[in-house]
Structure 1
Amino acid sequence: MLIPLVPGLLADLAADAPGVDLRISSVTPDLGRALAAGDPPLALAPAGFIDDSAIARPLGDLRFGVAARRGHPALGRPLTVARWLAHAHVVVRIGNERPNVTSDELARRGLVRRVSVEVASFLAVTSVSATARPISASIPRAAASSSPPSSAPRSACSASSSSPSRSC
Structure 2
Amino acid sequence: MANVDLNLLFVLNALLETRSVTRTARRLGLTQSAVSHALKRLRVTMGDELLVRVPGGMAPTARACALAEPLRQALSTLSDVVASPRAFEPSTAQRMFRVMAADFAQFVLLPGLLGLLARCAPGIDVWVVAGALEDPDAALVAGEVDLVIGVPGRGHRLAGVQQRRLFEERFVCLARTGHPEVQGKLTLEQYVSLPHAFVAPRGRAGGIVDDVLAERGLVRRVALAVPNFLVVPHVILASDLIVTLGSRLGKAFEKTWPLQVLDPPVPIPGFTVTLSWHERWHGDPGHTWMRSQVASVAESL
Q: Shorter-chain TM-score category?
A: 0.7 to 0.9
Instruction: Provide TM-score, normalisation by structure 1.
Output: 0.77
Pair member with larger Rg: 2
Q: CA deviation at 1:40?
A: 0.6
Q: Which residue of 2 aligns with 1:45?
A: 150
SS in 1 for 2:150: coil
Q: CA deviation at 1:32?
A: 2.4
Q: Which amino acid aligns with 1:126?
A: P
Comparing both structures, which one devotes a greater share of its residues to strand? 2
Residue 32 of structure 1 contacts residue 50 of structure 1 at CA under 8 Å; is this kept in 2? Answer: no
Q: Which residue of 2 aligns with 1:126?
A: 233
Q: Which residue of 1 aligns with 2:247?
A: 141
Structure 2: 5+ residue stretches without partners:
1-103, 272-301
Q: Which amino acid aligns with 2:134?
A: P
Q: Which amino acid aligns with 2:168?
A: D
Alignment partners' CA distance in 2, 1:77 and 1:7: 30
C-alpha deviations, 1:81-136, integer Å up to 9, x for none?
23211111000011353743323333344432110101121121111111112x10
Q: Which amino acid aligns with 1:140?
A: G
Alignment partners' CA distance in 1, 2:155 and 2:114: 24
Q: Which residue of 2 aligns with 1:153?
A: 259
Residue 123 of structure 1 contacts residue 143 of structure 1 at CA under 8 Å; is this kept in 2? Answer: no
Q: Which residue of 1 aligns with 2:283?
A: none
Q: Which residue of 1 aligns with 2:126?
A: 22
SS in 2 for 1:34: helix
Q: Which residue of 1 aligns with 2:183?
A: 76
Alignment partners' CA distance in 2, 1:51 and 1:124: 33
Q: CA deviation at 1:48?
A: 3.1
Aligned pair count?
Answer: 162
2:117 is equivalent to residue 13 of structure 1:
yes
Q: 1 or 2 for the larger relative contact order (CA 8 Å, sep ≥6)?
A: 1
- Change beyond 3 A, Cα 1:142–1:150: closer
2:219 is equivalent to residue 112 of structure 1:
yes
Alignment partners' CA distance in 2, 1:145 and 1:8: 16
SS in 2 for 1:23: strand
Residue 26 of structure 1 contacts residue 94 of structure 1 at CA under 8 Å; is this kept in 2? Answer: no
Alignment partners' CA distance in 2, 1:50 and 1:38: 20
SS in 2 for 1:123: coil
Q: Which residue of 2 aligns with 1:166?
A: none
Comparing both structures, which one devotes a greater share of its residues to helix? 2
SS in 1 for 2:249: helix
Alignment partners' CA distance in 2, 1:96 and 1:35: 23
Q: Which amino acid aligns with 1:157?
A: D
